Amino acid sequence: NAGVTQTPKFRVLKTGQSMTLLCAQDMNHEYMYWYRQDPGMGLRLIHYSVGEGTTAKGEVPDGYNVSRLKKQNFLLGLESAAPSQTSVYFCASSPLRYNEQFFGPGTRLTVL
């Protein structure tokens, strides 16, 4: 089992550019999450999904969109990147609501 994988590992964007981060899990988990981690701050939830075809907003959803067309994949989109979106993005999945979350290795995004 690969667990949770994220693509790409690193990316540099210019302000206004768009991109999509891909998260894939092979554990048949229902729940998937996107977080961002900034220096001196705890992980903050951007969006989450409780199953295929469903998404919901987290704590900091502005500027991001998500889709979960397949159970194993959770995509995070930035339509018009801003320097404030420079961060490390983590995807996670869990089988049930209160279960342990399994995290991916992260994507380091820099917006110039």
Partner 1 sequence: KNQVEQSPQSLIILEGKNCTLQCNYTVSPFSNLRWYKQDTGRGPVSLTIMTFSENTKSNGRYTATLDADTKQSSLHITASQLSDSASYICVVSANYGGSQGNLIFGKGTKLSVKP
Binds partner 1 by CB under 8 A, chosen from 4, 24, 78, 81: 4
Note whether 12 binds partner 1 by CB under 8 A: no
The first and second tokens of residue 51, run together, are 């199953």
Note whether 29 binds partner 1 by CB under 8 A: no
Reported residue count of the chain is 112
Query: Please, which residue, 14 or 62, has the CB nearer to partner 1?
Result: 62
Note whether 45 binds partner 1 by CB under 8 A: yes
Closest separation in Å from C-beta 103 to partner 1: 3
What is the rounded (10 degree) CA torsion for 85, 36, 20, 92?
Answer: 180
Are residues 24 and 107 in contact, defined by beta-carbon separation less than 8 angstroms? no
Nearest Cα neighbor of 93 from 37, 26, 21 is: 26
Binding stretches for partner 1 (CB under 8 A)? 4, 31, 33, 40-45, 48, 50, 56, 58, 90, 92, 97-98, 100-106
